Amino acid sequence: MLSTISAAAGSPPPELHTVRDYVRWGASAFARAGLVFGHGTDNALDEAFHLVLWALKLPADLPAIYLEAALTAEEKSSVWALLRERIETRRPAAYLIGEIQFCGLPFTVDERVLIPRSPIGEMIGQGFQPWLTVEPLRILDLCAGSGCIGIACAQAFLEARVDLAELSPAALEVCRLNIARHHCGEQVHALGSDLFEALQGQRYELIVSNPPYVPEAEVDALGPEFQHEPRLALAAGSDGMDLVERILREAPAHLSEGGLLVCEIGGSQEEFNARFPDIPVSWPEFERGGDGVFVIGKADLEDWLQGN
C-alpha cells in the first residue's frame, strides 16, 4: 500500500509543504489503507489532524491561518514518520503518542490499558445529576484500567476519597503513573482486586465501572486497531455479561445508603436486556455521543435482586 502512496516510501512526497498538506495527505492515506477508528476520533480527517498537530507540538485549537505554515525538513520527517507508523502498525493514535484526553485531562496510556473513550466522562462533568442524590465522600472506580474515570471523579468531587480497583497488575502500573501525573496520591488510591474481592467491608456513595462487556466472538471480529488493546479489558463471556452480572449481585454490599451504581456496557445493551429483562435501570442520554451506560440506586438494585 505505501509503495503506491509515495515513490520514495522512506521520505515524504516533495509536493507536501504545509500543515494543511500533511493533514490532507494523512486523511487520504488513512482512508486508502482502511484504518479503523474509535479510539478518540471517528474518522480519517480528525485522526490525521490530531496526529499532525501532536507531532508539531501545536494546540488542537490552532488558528486556521497556521494551517498554511510551511514545515521545516525536520518537521516533515517527524510528521511523515508518525503518519506512516499509524498505517503500517495499525496501532491506535493514543498508543502512538502515549496519551489521550479524558474529561479535559491528559492521561498516560499504552497497550497495558484500554484507551479511554467512555461517555461516562460527560456524566462526571455534570456531577452525575440528576441520579446522584447524596454527596459522595467515597467513590470506587471498578475495573479502573488507566484510572481515568476515578481520577476525573476526584477532580469533580474534591472532598471524596477515590479507590481505583483493577485486576491487571500491568494496568495498575498505569493507574499509578496517572495518579502521580495528576498529583492526587493523597486522594486517589489504586489497589489490585478481582472486582470487589479485595474490598470487603468497604462502602461507597458512588461506584462507577467500565468493565469488560464484549462477547468473545465479537472481540475476535474487531478491527486490527482493537487487537492492540488488552483482551482482558474487552471480553467477558459468550454474551459479554459475565462480569456485569457479578457487579450487579455484589455491588449492594459495597454501596452506602442512597448510593449509586453507574456501569457502562456500550454496544451490548441487547445482551444486557436479554439476561436482565426486568431490572429497573435508567439509560442516560449523551449530548456528545455515546450510549450504553446504565444507572441504578442501591435500593432498586436490592429490590431487584430479592426477586431474582
Q: 154-210, pLDDT tens digit by residue?
A: 999 999 999 999 999 999 999 999 999 999 999 999 999 999 999 999 999 999 999
Nearest to 81 by CA among 115, 56, 105: 56
Cβ-defined contacts of 32-39 (< 8 Å, 24+): 32/1, 32/5, 33/1, 33/87, 35/86, 35/87, 35/90, 35/225, 36/90, 36/223, 36/224, 36/225, 36/226, 37/225, 38/117, 38/225, 38/226, 39/92, 39/93, 39/94, 39/100, 39/115, 39/117, 39/225
Give the C-alpha separation, 70 to 55, whole Å. Answer: 14
pLDDT at 143: 96
pLDDT at 3 over 50: no
Instruction: Using only the alpha carbons of the chain, give its radius of gyration.
Output: 21
Computed over every residue of the chain, the mean pLDDT equals 93
> Which domains are present in the chain?
2-97 (no CATH), 99-306 (3.40.50.150)
pLDDT at 221: 87
pLDDT at 6: 41
pLDDT at 139: 98
Q: Could you give the percent of the chain with pLDDT greater than 70?
A: 97
SS (H, E, C) 203-267: CEEEEEECCCCECHHHHHHCCHHHHCCCHHHCECCCCCCHHHHHHHHHHHHHEEEEEEEEEECHH
pLDDT tier, 308 (very low <50, low <70, confident <90, very high otherwise): confident
pLDDT at 9: 56
**DSSP state for residue 116 in the 8-state scheme:** P
pLDDT tier, 235 (very low <50, low <70, confident <90, very high otherwise): confident
> What average pLDDT score do residues 209-220 get?
88
Give the C-alpha separation, 42 to 206, whole Å. Answer: 30
> What average pLDDT score do residues 103-111 get?
96
Chain-centroid distance, C-alpha 260: 21
pLDDT at 307 over 90: no
pLDDT at 52 over 80: yes
> What average pLDDT score do residues 45-73 get?
95
Helix 19-33 and helix 73-89: axis angle, to 10°? 10
Classify strands 161-166 and 188-192 as parallel, antiparallel or unpaired. Answer: parallel
pLDDT digits (tens, 9 = 90+) for 108-152: 999 999 999 899 999 999 999 999 988 999 999 999 999 999 999
pLDDT at 147: 97
Cβ contact 87:29 at 8 Å: yes
Give the C-alpha separation, 192 to 308, whole Å. Answer: 30
